[in-house]
Amino acid sequence: MTGIDDLPVRDELRGKSPYGAPQLDVAVRLNTNENPYPLPEPLVERIAERVREAARDLNRYPDRDAVQLRTELAGYLTRTGGHRVGVENVWAANGSNEVIQQLLQTFGGPGRTAMGFEPSYSMHALIARGTGTGWIPGPRDEDFTIDPAAAERAVAEHRPDVVFLTTPNNPTGNAMPRETVVALYEAAQAAKPSMVIVDEAYVEFSHGDSLLPLLEGRPNLVVSRTMSKAFGAAGLRLGYLAAHPAVVDAVQLVRLPYHLSAVTQATALAALEHTDTLLAYVERLKAERDRLVTELRAIGYEVTESDANFVQFGRFADSHEAWQKILDRGVLVRDNGVPGRLRVSAGTPAENDAFLDAVRELKKEQS
């Protein structure tokens, strides 16, 4: 039988596996940091209306520059991010994964490198590989925080073209202090002019503020965002970035023409009309996240501080075995490959209760 490696695939893809969070049919799915609340019915109606309108024009290509959508996203960022952002500062694509891919196609690529501080979002390294960008893992401490001095040394030594700073970080959940981001931006510029991408996919769940104000006077800084988490619209596939207008011009050199379908643009615009309702779910999820942290600690687990809609917990002698035992009790969590740890996304109160029951039993069995 012909397999991938029998094909003339690029050398760096040989023997590799694709990104694969299991999509299993389980009652309680808390493994991909989705928002557990279905979209409210008035929003579903509004999406149907807007998509119906867009459908009449599907014989035409969509607005290639998604101007209306970018204007609304800029308005959202300005209202919530503590920094004025205009349409010229914003770019959108199919999920922040595509935003990141476009950034690496623009600022990475063959002969260039990107650095991220691991454990962090595994797609950064995978998208680097897919775009022919070399990947350099940077250090984190035992407690999953970043030691600024060690991180600055790694940047100075490897002089990456792109630096990823994920805050709040996935899968660990902790946020990075603003001063560390500033210090690493400085270090990256001193090593060579390089792009620093702050991945704020989870920032709406954070105890702290967005780093958007840092864009002022820092043309090589990019903040990436998504509607997959706080907006509860992972199925929509809409990510976006805020940066200097020159960055927005630069990514247009690599984007495919008409990459954002008219249906996607219409749906995202409808969701943005309901921002306040959707962000009310964020408050519920933050409360549930805090409850998970407290209860997991009460059961006796070690928990990493979380500013996201998920919680990293452990320790397990064998995290894969623990993952399976939780799954056997009907709850799907995530084994991100961090030794001794698992990650659980904050679900509805009932889902979180089911999860807590499962890990309480597991604790009894294992102690």
Which residues of the shown chain bind ligand PMP in the complex (CB under 6 A)?
33, 95-97, 121, 166, 170, 199, 201, 226, 228, 234, 239
Give least dist CB 208 to ligand PMP, A: 16
Question: What's the distance, Cα to Cα, between the start and end of the chain in Å?
Answer: 47
Residue 188 or residue 203: which is nearer to ligand PMP going by CB? 203
- CB closer to ligand PMP, 152 vs 307: 307
> In the numeric block, which tokens belong to residue 269?
């615009």
Tell me the two tokens of residue 205. 């769940």
CB of 236 to ligand PMP, least distance (A): 9
Q: How far is the CB of 273 from ligand PMP (least distance, A)?
A: 20
Measured from the CB atom, the residue of 97 and 319 that comes closer to ligand PMP is 97
Instruction: Report the distance separating Cα 202 and Cα 345, nearest Å.
Output: 12
Q: Specify the pairing of strand 221-226 against strand 239-243.
A: antiparallel
Specify the residue, 237 or 325, whose C-beta has the smaller distance to ligand PMP. 237
Would you call 115 helix, strand, or coil by DSSP? Answer: strand
| Least separation in angstroms between CB 200 and ligand PMP | 8
In the complex with ligand PMP, which residue's Cβ is closer, 210 or 295?
210
> In a 3-state reduction of DSSP, which class is residue 18?
coil
Nearest distance from C-beta of residue 64 to ligand PMP, angstroms: 21
Smallest distance from the beta carbon of 169 to ligand PMP, in angstroms?
Answer: 7
- The residue type of 36 is P
Between 199 and 204, CB nearer to ligand PMP: 199
Q: How far is CA 313 from CA 21, 326, 333, in A?
A: 18, 13, 11
- In sequence order, what are the residues at sequence separation of 6 or more whose Cβ sits closer than 8 angstroms to the Cβ of residue 224? 96, 99, 100, 103, 197, 198, 199, 200, 201, 239, 240, 241
Measured from the CB of residue 121, what is the shortest distance to ligand PMP in angstroms?
Answer: 4
Q: Can you tell me the distance from the alpha carbon of 73 to that of 93, in angstroms, rounded to the nearest whole number?
A: 12
Position with the least CB separation from ligand PMP: 95
Residue with smaller CB distance to ligand PMP, 133 or 191: 133
Helix, strand, coil % (nearest 5) of the chain? 45, 15, 40
Other C-beta atoms lying within 10 Å of the C-beta of residue 79: 10
Specify the 3-state DSSP secondary structure of 230: coil
CB-nearer residue toward ligand PMP: 119 or 239: 239
Instruction: Please give the Cα distance from 274 to 357 (Å, whole number).
Output: 34
* Closest distance to ligand PMP from the beta carbon of 156 (Å): 25
How many whole angstroms separate alpha carbon 213 and alpha carbon 325? 44
